[in-house]
Amino acid sequence: MPAFDVDPVLLARIQFAFTISFHIVFPAISIGLASYLAVLEGLWLLTGRDVYLRLFKYWLKIFALAFGMGVVSGIVMSYQFGTNWSVFSDKTGPVLGPLMGYEVLTAFFLEAGFLGVMLFGMQRVGRGLHFFATLMVAFGTLLSAFWILSANSWMHTPAGFAINEFGQFVPADWWAVIFNPSFPYRLVHMVLAAYLSTAFIVGAVGAWHLMRDRFSQPARTMFSMAMWMAALVAPLQIVAGDLHGINTLEHQPAKIAAMEGLFETTAGAPLILFGIPDMEAEETRYAIEIPKLGSLILTHDLDGEVKGLKDWVPADRPNAEIVFWTFRVMVGLGVLMVAIGVASLVLRWRGSLYATSWLHWWALAMGPSGILAILAGWITTEVGRQPFTVYGMLRTAESASPIGAPGVAASLAAFVVVYVIVFGAGAIYMLRMMATPPDEGDEAPKHGRPIRSAGVTPAPAMEHES
């Protein structure tokens, strides 16, 4: 019987990449939708227009589904730290464990505490209390992003720690741990990405319903709000990405070299638009480049020096063949987001935003662009950190559990089957919900006071007499 000679660490990495690729989609949608729902409810309370309430109820159902799938997919990942990455868990647990605990104690409890009121309380509590619950859920999703990004950023730019006699990372300065050098840039970049992802999903749904009924007010409102987000936030994201890149050049220069496909340290480095990085030959073949633009973008100096991958021994280099292309996918999608935002501004100014079919088709095609950009950016970030789990301190090969490849391969196969069935079904159901037009029959509560339940024991609700 032939030996199973596949590297178990590689299988463990594939398994974690597979599960986190599913997981990251749902929290990103939840972060964006929670804030969108808070804006919709706030506008409804402020203006009294029923269209905002109909959209709130419409997207509330989709938010609940995304939130639930995000929780389930996140729980599975935590088990992998114990099964496939037990050495990593032991070494980094004193630092990362409390950060994960803070996320549960603050963000998750806040979300869970008010989620029920948000989902089911519109007819049972006053408008002010319900709006407060919606705001708390939105704040909870941002708080969750805060802790998760803090933990992830510490793995990229570790700070505020000491190493004890057991070789474990232990916190020496919690402020330095939490607010490590790359954390602010990574948090802003990720939250903006979540908002843009949601905006393009909302925009695609609005465009879909606009193409069926050009005069549908809910469709017009969805599309208009999404295009405003594209016009205003997409350029802001490019600025945030630029600042994040400068920070990465300072703290993770090998990752930048891989992203740029740059092998030789160069003053006045070119921007390589396209090419094929070859790690063995140590060059980027067929490069199409713009002289000095790479240095200008990364150092804000035409003659600034950018290190090449040859400055590191081969064992310490990230895989440029992957990082180079995923980075370009992310940037290319970002450019398209800015372009559609600018196009929408021109058409809005001409008064034809709701009557231009090519823009609606473009917005529909761009629906998954935010999610794809997040996945591409996440791969760039995490593959660019290799071959370390804690950058420069703990190698990936030294972080894995001492288990054989057959065991990891079997659990990977099980994850693929279960995830495709469970989350595939969930995604299809979510798309069907989006394809259904907002219910024109939804009406606002007839008064601002809650409906009282009758009797001490549960009984049918009774309308309060106005």
CA 71 – CA 433 distance, rounded (Å): 20
pLDDT at 462 over 80: no
Among residues 201, 98, 187, which one has the least CA distance to residue 142?
A: 187
The Cα-based distances of 129 to 32, 71, 126, 219 in angstroms read 21, 25, 5, 28
Distance CA 38, CA 111 (A): 13
Helical ranges in 164-252 per DSSP H? 174-178, 183-210, 217-251
Contacts of 421 (CB under 8 A, 6+ apart): none
Report pLDDT for 450: 52
Query: How many CA within 13 A on the CB side of residue 442?
Result: 18
pLDDT for residue 454: 47
In the predicted model, is pLDDT for residue 133 greater than 90?
A: yes
Q: Which residues have C-beta within 8 Å of that of residue 332, sequence separation ≥ 6? A: none
pTM for the model stands at 0.88
Give the strand pairing for 283-290 and 161-163.
unpaired
Percent of the chain at pLDDT > 90 equals 53
Are the C-beta atoms of residues 309 and 254 closer than 8 Å to each other? yes
Task: Please answer whether residues 181 and 159 qualify as being in contact, where contact means their C-beta atoms are separated by less than 8 angstroms.
Answer: yes
- The mean pLDDT value for 295-316 works out to 89
Query: Tell me: the pLDDT tens digits for 388-437?
Result: 999 989 999 999 888 888 888 888 898 889 888 888 888 899 899 999 88
Number of residues written out for the chain? 466
> What would the pLDDT profile of 44-102 be if each residue is shown by its tens digit?
999 999 999 999 999 999 999 988 888 888 777 777 888 888 899 999 999 999 998 88
Q: Does residue 209 or residue 108 have the better pLDDT?
A: 209
Mean pLDDT of 195-204: 95
pLDDT of residue 464: 47
Cα gap 182→153, rounded to integer Å: 6
7 has pLDDT over 90: no
The lowest-confidence range among 99-103, 137-141, 331-335 is 99-103
- Measure the CA–CA gap between 50 and 59, rounded to whole angstroms: 14
Higher pLDDT: 111 or 62? It is: 62
For the purposes of burial, counting CB atoms within 10 Å of the CB of 413, is it exposed (0-12), middle (13-18) or buried (19 or more)?
Answer: exposed
Task: Give pLDDT tens digits for 203-222.
Answer: 999 999 999 888 889 999 99
Give strand pairing partners of 425: none
What does the pLDDT average to over 213-236?
93
What pLDDT shows up at residue 1?
47
Residue 94, amino acid: P
Lowest-confidence range among 95-109, 175-189, 204-218, 231-245? 95-109
Q: Give pLDDT, residue 257.
A: 92
Terminal Cα-to-Cα distance of the chain (whole angstroms) = 80
How far is 371 from 420, CA to CA, in rounded Å? 17
Which pLDDT belongs to residue 223?
95
Q: Percent of the chain, pLDDT > 70?
A: 93
